[in-house]
Amino acid sequence: MNSRANPIVFGLLGFLSLVGCQSLPNTTPKSSMPADFFQAKAKPQPSPIRLVSAKDNEVSGLPPIPPMEGPARSIDNRSPAIMKQEAITGGPTAAPELPPSHLACAAPGSIGGDVPRELSKIFIPNYIIEPPDILLVEAIPSLPDQPVQGEHLVRPDGTINLGTYGSVRVGGMTLDEARAAIKEKLSQYIKNVKLNVDIFAYNSKRIYIIADGGGFGQQVYPLPFTGNETVLDAIGQIGGLPTVASKKKIWVARPAPDDTVQTMPVDWKAITQDGLVRTNYQLFPGDRIYIESDCLISLDGLVTKIVTPMERIFGVTYLGARTVFQLQNMGRGVAAGGGF
């Protein structure tokens, strides 16, 4: 009797305890999702630029920034201190204009902050006219039989042709300097000339993308420079990464006037999948984006280079041996056939 009642008693006790637990208030606080839950918090990273001496491969310091003349340019990644100063003075605070090579290598905390990239781009310095840029020149008034209106190509010697007015050297000048040179030339023939000079086509400045072919050569893609390109923009202009590319071995090589090597690694996954702009650098004229091939594809290409000549040698050897064997047995087959 007791043995049969024990399971029933234990079952009732378990049921009562379950009901009692459900009736107790839940003291555990409910978790609330923060407002910035989906916003990735990127840790501050040091500048990824690697400066190496071309002679002894030793880490060198940053090149000095020379003073620049000309109108100042403001930087769009202003710090709170600069914004506070602008609020006090009542106007924007101008930053000195720097060449791209020095702006790109500026240390954190200097003018322009860290390396210019997406969301913190800078304005480039005054554009230098070089061949084969195209200038738009319009002069009012001009001689009836020789109007000065239209596009003028900058020739390899750095001059443009103004027809009967002669040639003017504009290569190596800024737009203001070229306007002054053209106006001085036309003033010899036209009094009180009103001149409009602008750049019609930017053809002299380029960005290069070099894609490794996995051991079978390299492809070079020259892209025109417009002043607003980033790494993602440049690679997007060639249709994305090649099929043999490695997503972990991409970097930007920036030429320097002091014979140093400047390389900036690119985190392709962070740029495309995570939306992080830390390595989506702003590009400047002469920058090289190097895309290395995948290591397995490179290994396969190396094996193919080694095996293919051996296969050809073995194939030629086998073909020659088979031909000799057939020639040796050809006479025996004819003799045997003639006996019947």
pLDDT tens for each residue of the chain, 340 residues long: 444 545 555 555 555 454 444 444 443 333 333 333 334 444 445 545 554 443 444 333 434 434 434 433 333 444 445 554 555 555 554 444 444 444 444 333 333 347 899 999 998 878 899 999 999 999 988 777 788 889 999 999 999 999 889 999 999 999 999 999 999 999 998 888 999 999 999 999 999 999 999 888 899 999 999 888 999 999 999 999 999 999 999 999 999 888 888 999 999 999 999 999 999 999 999 999 999 999 898 888 888 888 888 888 888 888 888 888 888 887 665 444 444 4
Beta carbons of 161 and 152 less than 8 angstroms apart: yes
**65 domain-assigned:** no
Same domain for 215 and 276, yes or no, is: yes
Same domain for 247 and 225, yes or no, is: yes
Q: What pLDDT does 235 receive?
A: 96
**139 domain-assigned:** yes
Which of 175, 201, 227 delimits the end of a domain? Answer: 201
Q: Which residue in 111, 108, 116 sits closest to 98, CA to CA? A: 111
Same domain for 226 and 273, yes or no, is: yes
Q: What pLDDT does 313 receive?
A: 87
CATH of the domain at 150: 3.30.1950.10
CATH of the domain at 255: 3.10.560.10
Whether this prediction's pTM lies above 0.85 is answered by: no
**Which residues are CB-neighbours of 276 under 8 A, at least 6 positions away?**
40, 42, 267, 270
Rounded distance between C-alpha atoms, residue 105 and residue 254, angstroms: 9
Q: What share of the chain is helix, strand, coil (3-state, %, to 5)?
A: 30, 25, 45
How many domains would you assign to the chain? Answer: 2
Same domain for 191 and 234, yes or no, is: no
Q: Residue 28's CB: how many other CB atoms inside 10 A?
A: 6
**Long-range CB contacts for residues 170-178, cutoff 8 Å, separation at least 24:** 170/129, 170/135, 171/129, 171/130, 171/131, 172/128, 172/129, 172/130, 173/128, 173/129, 174/70, 174/126, 174/127, 174/128, 174/129, 175/126, 175/127, 175/129, 175/199, 176/126, 178/129, 178/135
Which of 171, 186, 201 delimits the end of a domain? Answer: 201
Enter the tokens of residue 191: 């009094």
**249 domain-assigned:** yes
Same domain for 150 and 191, yes or no, is: yes
Enter the tokens of residue 179: 């306007």
**77 domain-assigned:** no
Same domain for 272 and 192, yes or no, is: no
**241 domain-assigned:** yes
**186 domain-assigned:** yes
Same domain for 169 and 195, yes or no, is: yes
Q: What pLDDT does 82 receive?
A: 52
Rounded distance between C-alpha atoms, residue 65 and residue 100, angstroms: 11
- The burial class, CB within 10 Å (0-12 / 13-18 / 19+), for 203 is middle
| Three-state DSSP class for residue 300 | helix
Task: Give 325's Cβ-side CA count (13 Å radius).
Answer: 6
Same domain for 257 and 190, yes or no, is: no
Same domain for 292 and 210, yes or no, is: yes
- In which domain, by residue range, is 220 found? 206-296
**188 domain-assigned:** yes
Which of 182, 201, 220 delimits the end of a domain? Answer: 201
Same domain for 160 and 180, yes or no, is: yes
Q: What pLDDT does 323 receive?
A: 86
**11 domain-assigned:** no
